[in-house]
Structure 1
Amino acid sequence: MAEAHQAVAFSFAITHEGWDVNLDREVLHLVLASGVRSWKKRLFRLQNNLKNGIYPAPLYSLWGTLAAVSGAHFYGVPVPGVKELLRLMPEDDERHQLMACAGVSLAGWLAATFTAKYALKLMYMYKGWMYEERGPGKKQSWATTLWALGVHILTGPSKPMLYSFQGSIPRLPLPSVKDTMQRYLRSVRPLLSDAEYARMEKLALEFQNGIGVKLQRYLVLKSWWATNYVSDWWEEYVYLRGRSPLLINSNFYGIDALFMHPTKIQAARAAVSIHAILQFRRLIERQELEPIMLQGTVPLCSWQYERLCNTTRVPGVETDKIIHWNDSKHIVVLHKGCYYKVPIYHKNRILEPCELEIQIQTILDDDSQPVDGEERLAALTAGERAHWAHTRLEHFFKGTNRTSLDAIEKAAFFVSLDDVPYEFDKNDPSKLDEFGNLMLHGSGYNRWCDKSFTLCVGSNGRIGFNAEHSWADAAIMSHLWEWVICEEAIHPRADAPVMGHMWEYIVLTSAGLFPEYKNLGFREDGHTIGTPQFKPPSPIRLSWDFKPTCLAAIEQSYLVVRELIDKIDLKIYMHDNYGKGFIKTCKISPDAYIQMALQLAYRRNAGKFSLTYEASMTRLYREGRTETVRPCTIESSAWVNAMNDPKTTTMERVALLKKACKQHQLGYQNAMCGKGIDRHLFCLYVVSKYLEVESPFLKEVLSEPWRLSTSQTPHGQTSKMDLKKYPQCISAGGGFGPVADDGYGVSYIIAGEDIIFFHVSSYKSCPDTDSAKFVKDIEQALSDLRTLFQDYGKIQSNNSK
Structure 2
Amino acid sequence: MAEAHAAVAFSLSVSHEGFNVNFDREVLNLIWLSGKRSWRKRGQRIYNNIRCGIYPGSLKGMTVSVATLSSAYYAGYDPSCGLIPLVQKFMPAGDVGKGLSCAVVGVGIWGGTIFTARTLLRLLFNYKGWMYEERGKGRSVSLATKMWLAAVKILSGWNHPMLYSFQGSLPSLPLPSLDDTMTRYLRSVRPLRDDADYARLEKLAKEFNQGIGNKLQRYLVLKTWWATNYVSDWWEEYVYLRGRSPIMVNSNFYGLDAILAHPTKIQAARAANVTHAALLFRRAIERQDLEPIMIQGLVPLCSWQYERVFNTTRIPGIQTDRLQHLDDSTWIAVYHKGRYYSMPTYYRNRLMEPAELQVMFERILADTSVPSKGEEKLAALTAWERVHWAKTRREFFSKGVNRSSLDSIEKSAFVLVLDDEEYHFDPNDSSKLNHFAQRMLHGNGYDRWFDKSFTIVIAKNGRMGFNAEHSWSDAAILAHMWEFVLAEDNFNGRSDAPILGHLWEHCLGEEMFTYGYDAQGNTNGSVEVELPQPKKLKWEIPTEALEAIEYASNCALVLLNDVDLKLVMFNHYGKGFMKTCRVSPDAFIQMALQLAYFRDAGKFNLTYEASMTRLFKEGRTETVRPCTIESCAWVRSMDDQSKTGEQRIALLRDACRRHQLGYQNAMVGSGIDRHLFCLYVISKYLEIDSPFLKEVLSEPWRLSTSQTPHGQTTKLDLVKHPDCISAGGGFGPVADDGYGVSYIIAGEDVLFFHVSSKKSSPETDSERFGQNIVKALDDIKSMFSSLKKNGA
Normalised TM-score (structure 2): 0.96
Partner of 1:86: 88
1:725–1:4: structure 2 CA closer, same or farther, 3 Å change rule?
farther
1:129 paired to 2:153? no
- Say whether the 8 Å CA contact 2:588–2:656 is kept in structure 1: yes
Going from structure 1 to structure 2, the CA distance change for 1:519 and 1:625 (only over 3 Å counts) comes to closer
Distance between the aligned counterparts of 2:653 and 2:510, measured in 1?
Answer: 50
Inter-CA distance 287–90: structure 2 relative to 1 (3 Å threshold): closer
- Please give the per-residue CA displacement for 1:363-422, whole angstroms capped at 9, x wherever unaligned: 111111111111000000111100010001001111110110010011000001110001
Partner of 1:510: none
Amino acid at match of 1:662: R
Closer/same/farther in 2, CA of residues 382 and 15 from structure 1, 3 Å limit: farther
Whether the 8 Å CA contact 1:711–1:748 is kept in 2: the answer is: yes
Cα separation, 2, equivalents of 1:476 and 1:349: 26
Aligned to 2:457: 456
Structure 1 position 715, deviation (Å): 0.8
CA distance in 1, matches of 2:490, 2:666: 35
Give the match for residue 350 of structure 1: 351
- For 2:75 and 2:231, the matched residues in 1 are separated by 56
Q: 1:592-671 residue pairs with structure 2 within 5 A?
A: 592-671=587-666
Q: Which residue of 1 aligns with 2:692?
A: 697
How far 1:10 sits from its partner (Å)?
A: 2.5
- 1:684 alignment partner in structure 2: 679
Q: Does structure 2 retain, via aligned residues, the 8 Å contact 1:352–1:519?
A: no
Instruction: Show the counterpart of 2:369.
Output: 368
SS at match of 1:144: helix
Q: Is the 8 A contact 2:382 2:449 kept in 1?
A: yes
Deviations 1:650-700 (A, max 9, x none): 111000000000000000000000000000000000000011101000000
Structure 2 CA distance, aligned partners of 1:517 and 1:732? 16
Residue 258 of structure 1 pairs with residue 253 of structure 2: no
The CA distance in 1 between the partners of 2:225 and 2:302, in whole Å, is 19
**Superposed counterparts of 1:283-294, under 5 Å:** 283-294=284-295
- CA RMSD after TM alignment: 1.7
1:480 and 1:592 map into 2 onto residues whose CA distance is 26
CA spacing shift, 1:4–1:144, aligned 2, 3 Å: farther
2: CA distance between counterparts of 1:518 and 1:188?
Answer: 48
Residue 479 of structure 1: how far off its partner (Å): 0.5
Give yes or no for contact 1:4–1:540 (8 Å, CA) kept in 2.
Answer: no
Aligned equivalents of 1:9, 1:179: Cα separation in 2: 68
Alignment CA distance shift 1:271-1:472 (3 Å) = same
2:378 alignment partner, SS class:
coil
Report the Cα distance in structure 2 between the residues aligned to 1:48 and 1:725, rounded to whole angstroms.
36
* Displacement of 1:519: 7.1
Residue pairs, 1:753-772, within 5 angstroms: 753-772=748-767
Amino acid at match of 2:89: R
Residue 76 of structure 1 is matched in structure 2 by: 76
For 1:22 and 1:64, the matched residues in 2 are separated by 54
Deviations 1:69-128 (A, max 9, x none): 21222222233311111222342x222111111111111111111000110010100001
Q: Please say if 1:559 is aligned against 2:527.
A: no
Label 1:36 to 1:575 Cα distance change in 2 as closer, same or farther (>3 A): same
Equivalence for 1:44: 44
Are 1:519 and 1:530, in contact at CA under 8 Å, matched by a contact in 2? Answer: no
SS at match of 1:378: helix
Contact 2:624–2:662 under 8 Å retained in 1: yes
Identical aligned residues as a percent:
61
- 2-side partners of 1:580 and 1:102: how far apart? 57
Give 1:158 shift: 1.2
Report the Cα distance in structure 1 between the residues aligned to 2:766 and 2:37, rounded to whole angstroms. 51
Between Structure 1 and Structure 2, how many residues are aligned? 775
Q: 1:427 to 1:698 in 2, by over 3 A?
A: same
Q: What does residue 139 of structure 1 align with? A: 140
In 1, the alpha carbon distance for the partners of 2:324 and 2:187 equals 41
Q: 1:436 to 1:519 in 2, by over 3 A?
A: closer
Q: Are the structure 2 counterparts of residues 4 and 593 from structure 1 closer, same or farther at C-alpha, using a change threshold of 3 Å? A: farther
Structure 2 counterpart of 1:504: none
Structure 1: runs of 5+ lacking an equivalent: 495-513
Residue matched to 1:150: 151
CA distance in 2, matches of 1:18, 1:611: 83
Alignment pair present for 1:26 and 2:34: no
Answer with 4-13 or 63-72: which moved more: 4-13
Alpha-carbon offset, residue 11 of structure 1: 3.6
CA distance in 2, matches of 1:202, 1:518: 60
What is the TM-score normalised by the length of structure 1?
0.95
Matched, 1:588 2:583: yes
1:136 Cα offset (Å)? 1.3
Relative distance call for 1:95 and 1:708 in structure 2 (3 A) is same
Distance 1:419 1:640, change over 3 A: same
- Contact 1:4/1:538 (CA < 8 Å) preserved in 2? no
Residues 322-471 of structure 1: matches in 2 within 5 Å? Answer: 322-471=323-472
Structure 2 residue matching 1:323: 3-state secondary structure? strand
Residue deviations 1:476-497 (CA, integer Å, cap 9, x gap): 0101101111111343369xxx
Mapped to 2, the partners of 1:365 and 1:473 lie a distance apart of 37
Partner of 2:110: 109
User: What residue ranges of structure 2 are gaps of 5+ in the alignment?
Assistant: 496-508
Distance in 2 separating the partners of 1:730 and 1:535: 38
Counterpart Cα distance in 2 of 1:535 and 1:137: 65
Indicate if the aligned counterparts of 1:66 and 1:105 stay in contact, CA closer than 8 A: yes
Task: Verify the 8 A CA contact 1:395 1:550 in the aligned structure 2.
Answer: yes
1:276 maps to 2:271: no
Match in the other structure for 2:218 = 217
Deviation at 1:12, TM superposition (A): 4.5
Q: Specify the code of the residue in structure 1 equivalent to 2:618.
A: E
**CA separation of 1:794 and 1:278: change in aligned 2, threshold 3 A:** same
Match of 2:201 in 1: 200
The 10-residue stretch of structure 1 (620-629 or 136-145) with the greater mean CA deviation from structure 2: 136-145
Contact 2:485 2:511 in 1 (8 A): no
Which residue identity does 1:227 align to in structure 2? T
Q: Secondary structure at the match of 1:772?
A: helix
Letter in 2 for 1:567: D
TM-aligned CA deviation for residue 310 of structure 1: 0.5
8 A Cα contact 2:57 2:158, kept in partner:
no
Please state if 1:321 is matched with 2:322.
yes
Aligned to 2:712: 717
CA–CA separation in structure 2 for the residues paired with 1:582 and 1:616: 23
Q: 2 CA distance for matches of 1:64 and 1:74? A: 15
Match of 1:543 among 538, 547, 566: 538
Does structure 1 conserve the Cα–Cα contact (< 8 Å) formed by 2:575 and 2:585?
yes
